[in-house]
Amino acid sequence: MTGISRRSFFIGSAVAGVSTLTSAGRVFSLDAALESLYGPAPGIAKLNANENPYGPSPAALKAMMKASAHGAYYVRESAQRLREMIAERHGLTTDHVVLSSGSSGVLTYLALASSQQGAILAPDLFWDTTSLMGVRNGSNGIMRLPKSASLAIDLQAMETALNADISMVHVTNPNNPTGMVLDSDELRAFCSRASEKCTVLVDEAYNELTDDPAASTMIPLVKAGKNVAVARTFSKIYGLAGMRVGYMIAKPELLEKVKQYGLGDYGLNQAGVAAAVASYNDEAFLAFSKTKIIEAREMVSEAIRRNGLTALPSETNFMFVNLGSTNADSFRAAMADRNVLIRGIYRDYNHWSRVSMGKLEDVQMYVDALPAALEAAS
């Protein structure tokens, strides 16, 4: 780098904007490219990945700037600090915590380990990306329960379906894409009994968004020594999806299976871990985000009611809307034509549409586009 130090380049680029030369010798404005390289282009309401666009928090941004200046070094102490913070909150040891690049990492590793032993039992509809990845190379697949009428996870049916071929039960609470939360007492009782027969995985990616996060978490079962693993992430309420930090809490023997497949701290990055440390206890930012998400849910609820539709009760930052006779893929296309990005059909749930709660102005775009998009898609 000529003329300026690396440090002033970094600070300058963060505040003032940068142009650089491409290999073809053309001037390329990073400022302009940044707009759509790292997130949605201006004017696009991105409501399709359950992100929290109010993040990163100011504290996380500051920590990332600092950590990035030390990006020459592999992650070590900062990851240990994060494990300590997590363990301390739950009265566990750092041996009960494994970090990974997003919770997708730990979720996939556990699915890989479990599918060596047997099948994974799961509801018909859940966030199945990592379990599908886990069973891809094994001979044991995912055993799905039949659809339930309410689209809630039927714990009784799950317990009845448990047999010697099952190595792991996969529960997502709140579930994605439904947004529904299970009754805490029923889930706790189910996890206790099921964990006598196999590993129980509870994916709590959206726990902090529920009405009562402390009551709905299954982490106390880990403390009680049960064969239960809980996955959490900094991608959702913490607003750090692009920084890739997640973790699993379980007893050390179970985490040994997970660690076989992961890269440990080698798979982490300084800025992400720094942002997670800075955000973990940032109650003001978390409360702010939750308030905005609840406000957005009210806007969507009101809009769908006005348009004669219903949605499942959500305790998350997304809603699963029943479109009646409208096809969810056609509706997604009609929304995209109006610069609103949402999800299309899941499995054979042809008339259900998931929308994430973004910034209120983006949610307003969804609300405004709803009548015309419904008409166009019908």
Which residues of this chain interact with ligand PLP, rule CB under 6 A? 50, 102-104, 127, 172, 176, 203, 205, 233, 235, 241, 246
- How far apart, in whole angstroms, are the C-alpha atoms of residue 254 and residue 250? 6
- Residues near 117 by Cβ (< 8 Å), separated by ≥ 6? 140, 167, 168
Compute how many other C-beta atoms are within 10 angstroms of the C-beta atom of residue 285. Answer: 22
Task: State in angstroms the smallest separation of the CB of 246 from ligand PLP.
Answer: 4
Task: State in angstroms the smallest separation of the CB of 251 from ligand PLP.
Answer: 21
- Residues near 19 by Cβ (< 8 Å), separated by ≥ 6? 27, 28, 29, 30, 31
Letter string b/e over residues 271-283, b meaning 16 or more CB atoms within 10 A of that residue's CB: bbbbbbbbbbebe
Residue 246 vs 344, nearer CB to ligand PLP: 246
CA gyration radius, the chain: 22
Task: State in angstroms the smallest separation of the CB of 334 from ligand PLP.
Answer: 24
Task: State in angstroms the smallest separation of the CB of 151 from ligand PLP.
Answer: 15
- Residues near 273 by Cβ (< 8 Å), separated by ≥ 6? 67, 75, 78, 79, 82, 99, 245
Residue 56 vs 246, nearer CB to ligand PLP: 246
Residue 198 vs 205, nearer CB to ligand PLP: 205
- How far apart, in whole angstroms, are the C-alpha atoms of residue 109 and residue 133? 9
Task: State in angstroms the smallest separation of the CB of 98 from ligand PLP.
Answer: 13
- How far apart, in whole angstroms, are the C-alpha atoms of residue 94 and residue 249? 9
CB 27 within 8 A of CB 21: yes
Residue 105 vs 118, nearer CB to ligand PLP: 105
Residue 50 vs 227, nearer CB to ligand PLP: 50
- How far apart, in whole angstroms, are the C-alpha atoms of residue 167 and residue 113? 9
Nearest-CB residue for ligand PLP: 102
Which residues are registered as beta bridge partners of 272?
A: none
Q: Distance from CA of residue 209 to its chain's centroid?
A: 11
Task: State in angstroms the smallest separation of the CB of 242 from ligand PLP.
Answer: 9
Residue 241 vs 255, nearer CB to ligand PLP: 241
Residue 244 vs 373, nearer CB to ligand PLP: 244
Task: State in angstroms the smallest separation of the CB of 314 from ligand PLP.
Answer: 13
Residue 320 vs 369, nearer CB to ligand PLP: 320
Task: State in angstroms the smallest separation of the CB of 130 from ligand PLP.
Answer: 7
| Residue whose tokens read 């913070």 | 85
